[in-house]
Amino acid sequence: MSKALKLFTSDRQDIMEDYISFEANSCADDMIKKYGSVPGSILDDIELCTLRVTYQLLYGQGEDVGEKAETVRAANEGFNRFADSSAIDVMPWLRYLMPGKIKQLMNVIINVNNIQVEKVNERYGTFNPDTIRDMTDAILASIRNGESGQDSSVFSKQRLTFALTDLLVAGFAPTSNYLMWMLLYIVAYPDVQEKIHKEIDAVVKGRKVSLKDKKALPYIEAVFLEAGRIVTQTPFGVPHFTIMDAKIGGYDVDKDTVVLMNFYSAHYDKEYWGDPECFRPDRFLDNNGKLDAEKCSRCIPFGIGRRSCIGEKQAKLHVFLSFATMLQKCEFIKAPGEDLALSPILGLIYSPKEFRVLVKERI
């Protein structure tokens, strides 16, 4: 699966860029029409925009998620509500104390898997290893290559179905969530939004934002990092266990010990950050307005090392281009009388509470 992701985030990045740019521009236009004079919640718009990109990356250009969008959204909500599943990972015996929750989770998984089964069956009839059209083809090719010529189509279909389910839900939910957090914070801090507009206007003139502009837009990157740090939408990493006796930070850790990375602790270290509770994107910039590499390395919303999130590069590119495209076209303004809540909805992934905005077209 890592090879398939690399193909579309590096070797064929232009395909991913086309999908994101088109959907983000369309979403911006729709939000301006809907919320230009009457404030409203942009949650559905952002989620659908993100889901459309993810769906086309998986199944090819022009593939419309259509009615399946509600199933995926429901699955995301189901996974997020099932916050106790992380405890079950560490203490499997808890499943016997909460059979109802286990059944709910299994139903969510089955509903999403049904979408993938349909697409996988279609793909097996049209797959050509010499023409890789999307991530589904790329994953299928890597699975078949890994089987050393063995005829095991059932095994391949199962692996492909599970891989696509992971990519669909994991690729959609954290990305749209991250984007919503960034939009919430620039609405709450209009001075930050103004700086973003000025940076885009100075760098991008008479054309659309592209991925090539990423290095020339350090303030947007600083906002991305600061949102990831202050929100820490996944406070703890996925549980792993040690394969041998080890020493971590001076402590002895026995083989087969369950280990979780505490991202929240790293992001709220007062000794290092000084004012970790404050939203201050400039903390990631040096005196010349360039990104401070050492401070950037301390922000780890996707994890760190070999066990970091496999979709990190895809998510970063997706969020950057969507966010920059929308900010190039739009000004997001807090609705009159709206009380913006920056505290999260707790779950497997911390989500922002819904908020209403006016979306004005920038001239």
Question: DSSP string covering 58-110, please?
Answer: HH-TT---TTHHHHHHHHHHHHHH-TTHHHHHH-GGGGGT-HHHHHHHHHHHH
Residue-level pLDDT at 148: 40
Residue-level pLDDT at 150: 45
Domain that holds residue 300: 2-361
Measure the CA–CA gap between 185 and 261, rounded to whole angstroms: 26
**CATH number of residue 194's parent domain:** 1.10.630.10
Q: CB neighbours (10 Å) of residue 299?
A: 22
3-class secondary-structure state, position 360: strand
DSSP 204-239: --SS---GGGGGG-HHHHHHHHHHHHHH-SSSB---
Residue-level pLDDT at 78: 62
List, for the chain, all residue ranges whose pLDDT scores fall below the cut of 50.
84, 147-152
Residue-level pLDDT at 349: 86
Q: Residue 188 region, left (φ>0) first, then alpha (ψ -120 to 50), else beta?
A: alpha
Residue whose entry in the numeric block shows the structure tokens 């707790």: 346
Structure tokens at 350: 């911390």
What is the total count of domains within the chain? 1
